[in-house]
Amino acid sequence: MGMTKEQIAQRIARELRDGYYVNLGIGIPTLVANYIPSGMSVVLQSENGLLGMGPFPFEGEEDADLINAGKQTITTVPGSVFFDSAMSFGMIRAGKVDLTVLGAMEVSQDGDIANWKIPGKMVKGMGGAMDLVASARNIIVAMMHTNPKGESKLLPACQLPLTGIRCVKRIVSDLAVLDVYDGVFHLLERAPGVSVDYIKERTAGVLVVQGEIPEIVF
């Protein structure tokens, strides 16, 4: 039941607009790059210092000096530009990046996000996540609606240590598309074959459902 990771990415790609500068996080967000509509110009920002990230290199053409924020070998595209890490986060902080897509462990109905630390487990660090969520003009979270135990990850308040507060605007989960404003979740779309009740049961935070909720069509 619900959307695959590829379908979540495909749905998020519908939020892209021509001319957007976009930062894609690690995991499902990275997959969004595979669904940029043909003919649309979207420039991908990699926060380690690149605008205009291209696909992985062909075997034998890997360049140790050319990686993305996930430390993967990548390529450039025509019009690419390199810069240092301060300028990279400068353009993020200044709101020049149009859209940030990232994953989350928990999101609250106030738009708070937790995605960097689980108490009792080895903490690897927040990397650029705190900078991105604090500054991005538009943040879409790609996530699973529930954890493996079936418990909701869309909560009245985050239980895990926070990455940022009042910053998430939209969530695309495996079950639904939701907006976050006025301190509640608003249901916008249902995943194929998923009922409103099914989503309600798996949303621990306050969920507002207004009118007919359309089903996502692929």
Which residues are at the interface with other proteins (CB under 8 A)? 46-50, 55-59, 61-68, 70-74, 82-86, 88-90, 92-93, 112, 122-131, 134-135, 161-166
Sheet holding 176-181, edge to edge: 76-82, 50-53, 43-46, 21-24, 99-103, 139-143, 170-173, 176-181, 184-190, 207-208
CB atoms within 10 A of CB 26: 15
Q: Which two tokens stand for residue 91?
A: 């353009």
Q: Which member of 47, 62, 189, 201 is catalytic?
A: 47
User: Residue 58 Cβ, how far from other proteins at the closest point, in Å?
Assistant: 5
Closer Cβ to other proteins, 106 or 174, answer by number? 106
User: Residue 160 Cβ, how far from other proteins at the closest point, in Å?
Assistant: 11
User: Residue 88 Cβ, how far from other proteins at the closest point, in Å?
Assistant: 7
Three-state DSSP class for residue 24: strand
Closer Cβ to other proteins, 64 or 217, answer by number? 64
Phi (first) and psi of residue 195, to 5 degrees: -85, 160
CB atoms within 10 A of CB 111: 22
Q: How far apart are CA 88 and CA 65, in angstroms?
A: 17
Partner residues linked to 178 by β-bridges = 171, 187
Q: How far apart are CA 154 and CA 134, in angstroms?
A: 19
- The owner of tokens 């149009």 is 98
User: Residue 136 Cβ, how far from other proteins at the closest point, in Å?
Assistant: 10
Q: Is 47 a catalytic residue?
A: yes
User: Residue 92 Cβ, how far from other proteins at the closest point, in Å?
Assistant: 7
Question: Which residues are catalytically annotated?
Answer: 47
